[in-house]
Amino acid sequence: MIELLIASSNAHKAEEFSELFDSKIVTVKPATKKLEVVENGLSYFENARLKAEAYYKEFKTPVLADDSGLNVQALSEELGIHSARFGGEGLTDKDRALLLLKKMEGISNRDAYFTCVLCVYLNEKEIFYFEGRMSGQVGYAYRGSGGFGYDPVFIPLEGGGELTVSELSEWKNKNSHRAVATGLAQKFFSQRS
């Protein structure tokens, strides 16, 4: 079994990862304090590593960091690694999702996908990455009360066709981009031990 510190003080994030991992293989715990890490990488991989490295140096223990976002084909330069800052400072998750819907008005190509990159930083010489994706489309309305971020405006291809991720909470737990990346990490560590 491997124990990892989440590169976040957010107990909810640690709880989410705990539910995704088999505790006989990987256990996770939140950091005791939040570090301010400048995410100035040019990719999900770079940003995940920046967080993992900073937390590893501070806490001297193996770290799990993630970077994720929504990639929208029609707005390729606006979201992606900038998803959490889309629209500028001071916006809520709902504000960002509604802004996305507004910017997509009149656009027929609504193809999009969520990406999650996990960086497991065991030490300076053992750094592993795992990537998960969830393909779908940007919907036409804000629907659902589950999930967070862009979930209420994203319709996954494999989720049944019409429902947003926010309306598919149970499905999301098994099929999201984060669940896919976590599954790959878990498989890797189960074979490594």
Length of the chain: 193
Q: Report whether 7 contacts 51 (CB < 8 A).
A: yes
Answer positive or negative: Cα dihedral of 14, 18, 21, 25: positive
Q: Report whether 72 contacts 96 (CB < 8 A).
A: no
67 catalytic, yes or no?
yes
Q: Which of 66, 67, 93, 151 is catalytic?
A: 67
- Tell me the residue ranges of DSSP E strands in 7-88: 26-30, 63-72
Per-residue DSSP letter, 42: S
Provide the token pair at 5: 């510190």
Kindly provide the b/e burial profile for residues 172-191, where b requires at least 16 CB atoms within 10 angstroms of the residue's own CB.
beebbbbbbbbbbbbeebee
CA distance 123 to 121: 6
Provide the token pair at 127: 């750094």
CA distance 177 to 173: 10
Catalytic sites, residue numbers: 67
